[in-house]
Amino acid sequence: MISAPNGEEMTAYFAWHLQIAPRLTEPAGFELGTGIAVNPVPPEQAAAELRQVLAARPARIGSSRP
């Protein structure tokens, strides 16, 4: 749950909200110790998968992609 930043508790425009993120892997020692998430996918593999998905999609009107 996210709340108002310090010093802005009295602002009329702030709204409470929840951020939900799925867990795709189990956190290991580094993640548990530092709170930093590690991406287990090599960048080359991620780029290849993204190119494959984008190539399979139909071109949108006005896009520069063929």
Confidence of residue 64 (pLDDT cuts 50, 70, 90): low
Residue 9 corresponds to which tokens in the numbers above?
A: 């508790």
pLDDT tens profile 15-63: 677 778 777 778 888 888 898 888 888 999 999 999 999 998 887 776 6
Q: Which residues pair with 10 in a beta bridge?
A: none
Q: Provide the pLDDT for residue 40.
A: 84
Q: Which residues contact 30 (CB under 8 A, 6 or more apart)?
A: 36, 38
CB 31 within 8 A of CB 38: yes
DSSP 52: H
Residue 23: which H helix or E strand, with range? none
Chain-centre distance for alpha carbon 48 = 19
What pTM, to 2 d.p., does this model score?
Answer: 0.40
